[in-house]
Each structure stands twice: as structure tokens, then as C-alpha cells.
Amino acid sequence: MQSQLEQDRKTELLLFFLVGDPAEGDRAEILKTIEEMSASRQWVLGPPRFVDTVDHSGTHPDDLPIVTIGGALELYSASAAELSRDIDRLHLEEVECIVDRIQSLSAERNLEFEFELDGQYVGTIDCGNVDDTLAKGLIEEWRNHINASS
């Protein structure tokens, strides 16, 4: 059960999205992967949701719109007051689940995905390869933070 502090706290959005134009079947495979992830476990603030948007704002009339295909997961923000270690660990496990599934999808279909946390770039998975920014800069640092607080 969530404490009142956790119910009232700010949230952040982890966005993971396809880089480049989708090939035939990419949308369907991304949706399928997100649906499978969603059903695979309990999620602190709800499962990841499929994102398929077209943004025409900020483009010139001759520019192509910005298409975002991927997923999003809401997480409690750890930037303000202390987040309980248990919730922080659960969020890390959720993010690791997403990274594992997207890594597999990326390898199978030779796709590149970028990850952003609240609008800030946190890493890339390209053709199944997780870059150091995501593996070490986000996940390993997060795990080290949790382990240091025990």
C-alpha cells in the first residue's frame, strides 16, 4: 500500500521510442511487446502505455511532422524528498524489464530506440546493443544508489 507521501509526490515519465521511420510491421510489434510487458508483472503506477503520436507543432509548413512510436512509463520522482527504498527498487525493476524487452525487440528487428526520463536523454538501444549511457549512467547508477541506502 502506498503512503500518503507517495500518493502526493511528483511523477516523471520514462519515454522509449523508435528512432527513424518505422518499417512494415514495426508499430504492431512495438504494441505487442508493450502489451506483453504490461501483462507480465505488477507495476507501481500502472503498466507502460503504447505511444503513437504525430506532432505538427514547431515545424515549418514544408517540414515533415515528428512521429513518436514507442511506450511510456510513469515513475515517482526521486528528485525531491526521499523516495522509499522499496518503491525505488520496484521502479528500477520495471525499467530493467522494459530495457530487456526493448533490447530483444531491437535485436530481432534491427531497430534503434532512444530513452528519455522527463524529457532528458538517458540512453539508446541500437540493434540490441544497450549503450553505456543507459546501462551504466542510468541503471547501474540507480542500482548503486539503492544499494548504498541499505
- CB neighbourhood size of 57 (10 A): 6
- The residue-averaged pLDDT of 90-104 equals 97
pLDDT for residue 55 = 81
Q: Of the segments 25-34, 48-57, 62-71, which one has the largest average pLDDT value? A: 25-34
Architecture of domain 9-148: 2-Layer Sandwich (3.30)
Q: What percent of the chain has pLDDT over 70?
A: 90
123 close to 106: Cβ distance less than 8 angstroms: no
- The residue-averaged pLDDT of 5-31 equals 88
Higher pLDDT, 7 or 70: 70
C-alpha 12/C-alpha 119 separation (Å) is 9
pLDDT for residue 4 = 47
Identify the bridge partners of residue 73 per DSSP, sorted by sequence position.
Answer: 14
pLDDT for residue 5 = 46
Higher pLDDT, 81 or 89: 89
C-alpha 150/C-alpha 142 separation (Å) is 13
Please choose, from the candidates 58, 56, 57, 37, the residue with its C-alpha nearest in 3D space to the C-alpha of residue 47. 37
Cβ neighbors of 113 (< 8 A, separation 6 or more) are 16, 17, 18, 19, 70, 102, 106, 124, 125, 126
Note the helical H segments in 2-150.
4-8, 26-39, 85-109, 132, 141-148
C-alpha 79/C-alpha 142 separation (Å) is 12
Cell of 88: 525505488
Domain ranges of the chain: 9-148
Query: pTM of this prediction?
Result: 0.89
pLDDT band at 1 (very low <50, low <70, confident <90, very high): very low
- The residue-averaged pLDDT of 85-110 equals 96
Long-range Cβ pairs for the range 32-35 (8 Å, 24+) = 33/101, 33/102, 33/105, 34/71
Higher pLDDT, 142 or 9: 142
Among 56-60, 86-90, 138-142, the minimum mean pLDDT is found in 56-60
